[in-house]
Amino acid sequence: MGFPVFLKFNNDKHFFKILSNSEFEEITVIGEKYDVFLFKAEIYPDKVRIQDMLKNENKFWESITAMDYQKLRSKVSINPS
């Protein structure tokens, strides 16, 4: 499988960029705020979660384009350090 893979939940509140079999980036939408989180699977259940996302046997996720994801990623809040 080629990476990255772009997915979203059908509620349009969670968007995913799967980077590898053990890592993904998630954009979460809360109201008008967009946050991003990098998830690294280090234990087996987390790795299974990513495999479930890629297989999508339960149809929890919908495919989106890289362009759609990048549009959302540009809205992510930049928190000052």
Q: Does some domain include residue 79?
A: no
Number of domains present in the structure of the chain: 1
45 in a structural domain = yes
Its pTM stands at 0.86
In a domain, 53, yes or no: yes
Give domain status of residue 81, yes or no.
Answer: no
pLDDT in tens, 48-72: 999 999 999 988 899 999 999 999 9
Q: By residue range, what is the domain housing residue 68?
A: 5-73
Q: Is 78 part of any domain?
A: no
What is the C-alpha separation between 29 and 57, in angstroms, rounded? 25
pLDDT in tens, 18-36: 999 999 999 999 988 899 9
Beta bridge partners of 26: 16, 37
